[in-house]
Structure formats: C-alpha cells, structure tokens
Structure 1
Amino acid sequence: MQIKINLPPDLEQDLLQQAKTANVLLQTLILQALRQMIEIPSVSASQWPEAILSYESFPDFASFESYRDELLSPCEPELF
C-alpha cells in the first residue's frame, strides 16, 4: 500500500536529519515510528515513564519508605 502525506517543512527536515543520523532510509524511519506507535504494550508492561522508574534519590535524603509509619490511614467512607 502506498500513502501520500504532506509534511510541514520543519517536520520534514527533522525526519531527514534523524534518518541521516541513524543511517537509515527515511521510509524505514517512518515505518519504525508507525510500528512503535501502534504497538500494543504487554499486560506486564509498566505504565510508569522511564524517568520515574529510573529515579535515584539523593544520598542525604531519607527514603520515602521511612515515612510510611507517619502516614495517615485512608478514611473509610460511611455507607449508611
């Protein structure tokens, strides 16, 4: 199947530059992007962004878990 799309000049230049940097054809770069966009994540895949998953705190700060005992219990809603 062939699809023709009109790209804004700035997007075209960005794509061409990325293709050149990756040393791939523009068509290959666009196909990779489309496949990645429609890829269905597995059930076990995390919903947290990588920035959150890879977070490392500062050594001088206490870990969040050390405050767990000080947290208030959630309020139980009154049903009646």
Structure 2
Amino acid sequence: MQITIDLPPDLEQDLLRQAEQSNVPLQTLILQALRQMIQAPSVSTSQWPEVILSYEGSPDFPAFESYRDELLPPRELELF
C-alpha cells in the first residue's frame, strides 16, 4: 500500500534529521514510528489519573506502609 501525506516543513526537517542521525532510511524511520504508535497502549490507560497521583491521604489514618510488616509474604510456586 502506498499513502501520500503532506507534512509541515518543520516535521519534515525533523524526520530527515532523525533518519540521518539514526543512519536509517526515512521510510524505515516512519514505519518504525507508526508501528510503535499502534503497539503502545494509550497514555490514558497506562498511567494513573492526576487526581490519584496527587492524593496525599488523610492525616487521621496511619500510612499504608506502617502495615507492611503485617503483610504475608508471597507464596512460592511449586514447579514440580
């Protein structure tokens, strides 16, 4: 399949520069970028939302880490 797209001049120059620095043909660089974009999960599903990341907890409750010593160790799988 052949697809023709119009690139803004700045993006074209960036792609040409990256291809030259990487010592790969421009077509290969573009194909790699497209494959990576398709295979990578979207940012929204691969990261916690900002509201979760910025949560500081309640000062009335002990920190979760204070219970770490009470946690059971992981079970070891029997291989045979």
**Under a length normalisation based on structure 2, what TM-score does the superposition of the two structures give?**
0.52
For the aligned residue pairs, the C-alpha RMSD in angstroms reads 3.1
Shift of the 40–12 alpha-carbon distance from structure 1 to 2, 3 Å rule, reads closer
Instruction: Output the CA distance in 2 between the equivalents of 1:71 and 1:31.
Output: 53
Unaligned runs of 5+ in 2: 48-56, 63-80
Unaligned runs of 5+ in 1: 42-46, 49-67, 74-80
1:77 aligns with none
Shift of the 40–2 alpha-carbon distance from structure 1 to 2, 3 Å rule, reads same
Which contiguous aligned blocks of 4+ residues in structure 1 show a shift greater than 3 angstroms? none
Aligned length, in residue pairs: 52
**Under a length normalisation based on structure 1, what TM-score does the superposition of the two structures give?**
0.52
Bigger share in helix: 2
Instruction: Output the CA distance in 1 between the equivalents of 2:23 and 2:33.
Output: 15
Question: Percent of pairs identical after alignment?
Answer: 67
Instruction: Output the CA distance in 2 between the equivalents of 1:29 and 1:40.
Output: 16
